[in-house]
């Protein structure tokens, strides 16, 4: 296999080392292939996505797709791209993780003084994007961000692993730092200060909830004739429309 680059689908973390996983995808791609030659056909779901497949409520539809990704053992099925813009309209994007769905909104937690926190303070409209490549599916959610309550943020923070709590307390997220050693020194200092006691919730740390205005469900199809359906909020319900790919 010299000259080939291997892409392996991650198995669930609970899978014993060395054990074969049913349905594991291993793909060998020549290292000399150009970006254009990486093109592939979308064939994961030959019958595509029909209007009759969709639930009336986009949250129900999302959770159905999310459950498929989670039960298949995909690595980080909760990963989502968060797109924001600053006060001047300059776009930005990064990966975060979904930490809950409540009242139709999607939750994640972060440092409010980070770059994304500052951007959301200046412009609270944002988009989240999930991509489950094995199933050739995307879900795009657009809406307005609001902060969770201090109480809700504290409840979630208390459930985080202690190392993650200390990292949140120690790291000046998005600020420039001298080197890795300096960051690790901040972490060790936080560890020493709170040895034997609960790690306090940082002052500028908490959750955001995206309250959706629209949801788009995308299913890859052959010949790039993908299936796309968008839910748009209307009064107390949702309208559903097919979009051209």
With CA atoms as reference, report the closest residue to 61 among 52, 71, 74: 52
Q: Is 154 left (phi over 0), alpha (psi -120 to 50) or beta?
A: alpha
- C-alpha distances (whole Å) from 187 to each of 54, 91, 154, 170, 183 are 47, 31, 20, 5, 6
Residues in the chain: 245
Output the CA–CA distances (angstroms, integers) from residue 66 to 59, 63, 128, 135, 240, in the order listed: 10, 5, 14, 11, 19
User: Which position among 8, 191, 224, 233 bears the catalytic label?
Assistant: 224
Q: Transcribe 44-101 into DSSP letters.
A: S-TT---GGGS-SSHHHHHHHHHHHHHHTT-S-TTEEEEEEE-TT--EEEEEEE--EE
Q: Taking a C-beta distance cutoff of 8 angstroms, is the pair 124, 193 a contact?
A: no
Return the closest-CA partner of residue 213 out of 106, 54, 64, 87: 106
Residue 224 falls in the annotated catalytic set:
yes
Q: Point out the residues that are catalytic.
A: 224
């Amino acid at each position: 296999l010299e000259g080939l680059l291997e892409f392996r689908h991650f198995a669930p973390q609970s899978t014993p080392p060395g054990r074969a996983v049913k349905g594991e995808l291993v793909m060998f791609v020549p290292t000399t292939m150009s970006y254009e030659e990486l093109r592939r056909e979308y064939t994961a779901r030959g019958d595509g996505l029909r209007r009759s497949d969709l639930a009336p409520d986009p949250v129900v539809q999302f959770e159905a797709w999310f459950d498929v990704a989670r039960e298949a053992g995909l690595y980080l099925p909760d990963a989502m791209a968060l797109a924001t813009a600053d006060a001047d309209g300059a776009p930005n994007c990064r990966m975060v993780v979904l930490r809950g769905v409540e009242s139709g909104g999607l939750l994640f937690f972060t440092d409010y003084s980070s770059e994304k926190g500052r951007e959301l303070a200046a412009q609270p409209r944002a988009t989240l994007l999930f991509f489950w490549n094995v199933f050739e599916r995307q879900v795009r959610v657009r809406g307005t961000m609001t902060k969770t309550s201090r109480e809700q943020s504290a409840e979630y923070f208390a459930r985080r692993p202690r190392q993650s709590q200390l990292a949140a307390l120690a790291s000046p997220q998005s600020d420039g730092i001298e080197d890795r050693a300096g960051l690790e020194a901040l972490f060790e200092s936080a560890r020493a200060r709170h040895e034997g006691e609960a790690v306090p919730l940082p002052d500028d740390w908490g959750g955001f909830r995206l309250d959706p205005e629209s949801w788009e469900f995308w299913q890859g199809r052959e010949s790039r004739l993908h299936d796309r359906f968008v839910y748009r909020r209307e009064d107390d319900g949702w309208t559903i429309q097919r979009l051209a790919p």
